[in-house]
Homo-oligomer: A and B are copies of this chain.
Amino acid sequence: MMPFASLADAEALDRADPLAPFRDHFALPAGVIYLDGNSLGPLPVATLAAQADAVANQWGSGLIRSWNDAGWIDAPLRIGAKLAPLIGAGADEVVVTDSTSVNLFKAVVAAAGLDTRPGALLTEAGNFPTDLYIARGAVAALPHLRLDVAAPGEILNAIGNDTRVVLLTHVHYKSGHRHDMAAITRAAHAVGAVIIWDVSHSVGAVAVDLNGCDVDLAVGCGYKYLNGGPGAPSFLFAARRLQSRLHSPLAGWFGHADPFAFTDDFVAAPGIARFQCGTPPMLSLLALETGIDVFLQADAAALFAKSAALFDLFADLVAARCPTLKLVTARDPAARGSHISFAHPAGYAIVQALIARGVIGDFRAPDVLRFGLTPLYLGFADTWRAVDQLAAVLGTEEWREARFSLRSKVT
C-alpha cells in the first residue's frame, strides 16, 4: 500500500508543511528539481546581497581595514561558533578554515600525537576517498602508526588493543549508510583510542551530537547541506578537554597565539584557534556564513523529520514505478543520512538522461544513482515529479542514447 497515490496527495503535504516557505530563501533555477544538495547546496537568496556587500563594501571600500572593522579576523571562530549547535559542539570547539582534506590531515596527525605507542590508525574500506588518501599520507609520516582498513561493517570487530586512532565517516557518501556514532566512539574509547568523525554528509542532514557521544575530533563540509557555496571552507571540531594537548602539523601564522607580533617562534593559540593555518579565503568563508545563517532559521527537528518523510515517498514511488533500480540505502531513518541511492548497471547514463529532463541527481562509480533529499528547499511534489521523470527515463529507455554515456570530468 503506497502512502501517496498521486501528485495531489504530495501537493497537499506541501501545503501543510511548515518548512515550505524556506523554498523562497533559495535562488533555484526554473525548470529544475535539484536533488544534489548533498554534493553542492544551492544558492541562498541572501548570499547574493551578502556577497556583493563583502566584495564591494568590505573589500572595495574597507580594504585592509576590514580585517578589524568588518570582523574578518574573527570569521573562522565566529562561524565555527554559529555552526556548533548543528553538531552538538560548544561554541569554542569549532573553527572554519581550509578544506575538509586539509582539516582531516590536521586532525589525524594531532590525534596521533596524543599516544605515540606503536599501533594502528583504523578506518574502513570504501570510506570517502580523500579520508583514505589523507590517512594513508599522514600514517606514512608517522613512524609509530600503521594503517588498518577494516571491511565495511567490521569496524567494531576491528577495534583492538593496539588501535590508536579511529577515522570514520558518519554518513557514507555513496550508500547513505549511517554509523552508530555513540557505539563506535564508546568502543574506540574502551581501548584508549582517539576517534575522528567526518560528518561531511551528516551536518545539516541528520542530528549530530558530538559532545553527547563524547567524540574527540571531527571535520565536515560547508558546501553540502549548509549551502556555503562551491568549495566553501570546512570545519574542524576538537573537544575542549583535548584542545591544549593537540598540536596541528600545519602550524601557520593564523594558529599563533599572537600572529601580529611576527615573532620567529611558534606559540600555539589557546583553544580551537590553533587549528587555523594560513589566511582564510574570506569571500568563500563569508558565503558560508550566510548559508549557515539561513539554515539556522529552520527548526532542525522538523528538517530531519521531513527528510525521513521525503525518503519514504521517494523509496516507495521508486519501488512501485522503477523496479529495475535496486535500493542501496537503509530504510531505517536512524541508519542513514538525507540522500537515497540506487544501483543500476547503466547508472551514469540514467542520471545524465534525468539531468536533461531537469532533475539533477548524481552518479557515483561504479553503478550508484544518488539523490539528495534536502527538506529546506525540496517539497513532496518535487519528489513526486522527480520520480515521475525517473520512471519516464527508464520506461522510454532514452538513457540508451549515446549522448548520455559521454563521461564528464566531474561525475
A341 within 8 A of B: no
- Which of A55, A261, A283 is packed against the most chain B CB atoms within 10 Å? A283
CB-based nearest B residue for A56: B48
Number of copies: 2
Q: Contacts A66-B230, A250-B105: A60 and B27 contacting too (C-beta < 8 A)? A: yes
Residues A362 and B136 in contact, CB atoms below 8 Å apart = no
Q: Which of A105, A130, A287 has the most CB of B within 10 A?
A: A130
Q: Is the CB of A409 within 8 A of B56?
A: no
Task: For A133, give its contact among B100, B256, B260 (CB under 8 Å).
Answer: B256
Q: Are A55 and B67 in contact (CB under 8 A)?
A: no
- Closest B residue to A47 by CB, please name it: B55
Chain B residues within an 8 Å CB radius of A143: 143
Residues of chain B within 8 A of A104, CB atoms compared: 252
- Give the distance in Å from the alpha carbon of A105 to the alpha carbon of B32 in the complex: 42
- Say yes or no: A126 contacts B365, CB within 8 Å: no
Whole-angstrom CA separation of A258 from B262 in the bound complex = 41
Question: How close is A340's CB to chain B, nearest CB, in angstroms?
Answer: 17
Inter-subunit contact A283/B287 (CB<8 Å): yes
Q: Chain B residues near A389 (CB, 8 Å)? A: none
Contact A129 B283 (CB under 8 A): no
Could you say which interface size class chain A belongs to? 35 or more
A353 at the binding interface (Cβ < 8 Å): no
A157 within 8 A of B: no
Interface membership of A7, Cβ < 8 A? no
Interface flags for A130-141 (1: CB within 8 Å of B; 0: not) read 101110111001
Contact B279 A231, beta carbon cutoff 8 Å: yes
A72-B230 contact in complex given A55-B43, A129-B259, C-beta closer than 8 Å: yes
Residues from chain B with Cβ under 8 Å of A130 in the complex: 252-253, 278
A124 nearest in chain B by CB position: B264
A99 sits at the interface (CB 8 A): yes
Q: What is the CB-to-nearest-CB distance from A219 to chain B, in angstroms, rounded to a whole number? A: 10
Whether a CB of chain B sits under 8 angstroms from the CB of A34 is yes
Complex interface residues of chain A between 116 and 151 (CB less than 8 A to chain B): 125-130, 132-134, 136-138, 141-143, 149
Q: Contacts of A98 on B, CB cut-off 8 Å?
A: 98-99, 102, 278
A136 to B254, CA, bound (A): 15
Contact call A40/B64, Cβ cutoff below 8 A: yes
Q: Is A163 an interface residue (CB 8 A)?
A: no
Q: List residues 59-83 of chain A with CB under 8 A from any CB of chain B.
A: 59-61, 63-68, 72-74
A-B contact pairs, 22 of them (CB 8 A): A40-B63, A40-B67, A42-B59, A43-B59, A47-B55, A48-B56, A59-B230, A63-B360, A64-B360, A98-B102, A99-B278, A101-B254, A125-B264, A126-B264, A127-B264, A129-B264, A133-B252, A133-B256, A231-B282, A231-B285, A260-B365, A281-B285
Known: A134-B250, A137-B251. 19 other contacts (CB 8 A): A27-B60, A48-B60, A52-B52, A58-B230, A99-B280, A101-B277, A101-B279, A102-B277, A109-B141, A132-B265, A133-B256, A137-B248, A231-B279, A231-B282, A231-B283, A233-B281, A260-B410, A281-B283, A283-B283
